[in-house]
Amino acid sequence: MLETMQNKKKREKCYDSELYAKISEKMYAIDKSPHAAHVLAQYFFKKNKSEKSEKYYKEAIDLQKDSTKKADLYFELALLYFNQMDQYSTARNYARKCLDFDPKYGKAYKLIGQIYAASAENCGESLFEHQAVYWAVVDKLIQARAVSPELADEVNPLISRYTANFPSQEDYFFNGYQKGQKYNIECWINETTTVR
């Protein structure tokens, strides 16, 4: 009965309907599968119900055996923490888990760069320290393009935009740094980058 109703809603393309979600949740309670958990996670993500989405993403990850699909799930969970929950450190952790399963997942590097960019103004105390975060942002975007060249059209404009936020040569020299020197970004980011 539930499966018949779910199939009817699928045929009608009612994936966003509350009834479809309720049917899917009841079916999932009866027969837990990574696919069903993923469908529910995506549904609640679209509805901005982050706690329910998080729950189903974590269950989908636990149930999923395929490493490629697991990487996708970790990436989507990272997006949830970044876009809806404003938990930047946790979002980065899940993006890194995605990379553990697929080191060539360029979108994960891109996302980490965007997470860093979103928190640049809160990282450090001086304008120089805020701007230095953009060195790490661009590092991640370059990594994204290197492992996934098909992302170049998305990543190149971001690289240009964030490069414009780098500290000036005068600023980094005044702060005791030289071009090519290693620089450690502190705060929660805690990444080593290069002065340029």
pLDDT in tens, 155-189: 999 999 999 999 999 999 999 999 999 999 989 99
The span from the CA of 158 to the CA of 160, in Å, is 5
Average pLDDT in the chain: 90
Average pLDDT over residues 16-32: 77
- The more confident residue out of 5 and 119 is 119
Residue 71, pLDDT score: 98
Contact 40, 25 (CB under 8 A): yes
Share above pLDDT 70 across residues of the chain, in percent, rounded to a whole number? 91
**Does the structure show a pLDDT above 80 at 15?**
no
Output the pLDDT for position 41.
93
- How much is the average pLDDT of 17-26? 75
User: Is 109 within 8 Å of 143 (Cβ atoms)?
Assistant: yes
Position 47 scores a pLDDT of: 92
Spatial distance between the Cα atoms of 66 and 95, rounded to a whole number of angstroms: 17
Q: What is the pLDDT of residues 72-109, one digit of tens each?
A: 999 999 999 999 999 999 999 999 999 999 999 999 99
Judged by DSSP in three states, 164 sits in coil
Residue 13 has pLDDT above 70, yes or no: no
- CA–CA separation, 92 and 97 (whole Å): 9
Domain boundaries, the chain: 106-196
Hey, what amino acid is at 19?
L
CA dist 107 and 90 (Å) reads 16
pLDDT for residue 111? 98
Measure the CA–CA gap between 113 and 107, rounded to whole angstroms. 10
Query: What single-letter DSSP state applies at residue 168?
Result: P
Is the pLDDT reported for residue 3 higher than 90?
no
pTM: 0.88
**Residue pair 195/178 in contact by the 8 Å Cβ criterion:** yes
SS3 state of residue 87 = coil
Q: Is the pLDDT of residue 21 over 90?
A: no
- 7 band by pLDDT with thresholds 50, 70 and 90: very low
